[in-house]
Amino acid sequence: MFSNKRVALAILAAFLLSSVPTVTAGGDYDEWFWDITGDTTDEDGDGYNDTATIGYDPDTTCECDVDIYVYITVYDSETGDEVDSGSFEYTINNGEGDWF
């Protein structure tokens, strides 16, 4: 089950990584996260948060379509074990309000 601490650490890690310049992205343009939010909820009513919701708004300096890849991994802060992960592909354009 998710705990607030585990999910908070995963969201914090994603936020910290989003502030790192995208020098490894390659190409002539930068990509970054304009905003990242996260929340946990108890969906099964057992008193423990078991669902994490993460939202983010990726942006780019290019006034063109840019394909980006977002990887999210959630770790158990007590054991270091991977709890869940996902990878997502998007096409973004400049500072348009994309929210995923």
Model-wide pTM > 0.85: no
pLDDT in tens, the chain (100 residues): 445 555 555 555 554 444 444 434 456 777 878 888 888 889 999 998 888 888 888 888 888 888 888 898 888 778 889 988 999 998 888 766 677 7
Tell me the residue length of the chain. Answer: 100
pLDDT number for residue 14: 53
CA distance 84 to 73: 6
Q: What is the 3-state secondary structure (H, E, C) of 15-40?
A: HHHHCCCCCCCCCCCCEEEEEEEEEE
In terms of C-beta density within 10 A (0-12 exposed, 13-18 middle, 19 or more buried), how is residue 6 classed? buried
Query: In the chain, where are the structural domains located?
Result: 4-93
CA separation (Å) from 91 to 36, 42, 45?
A: 18, 32, 37
What is the SS3 assignment for 59?
A: strand
Query: Residue 18 phi/psi, 5° resolution?
Result: -70, -20
pLDDT number for residue 76: 79
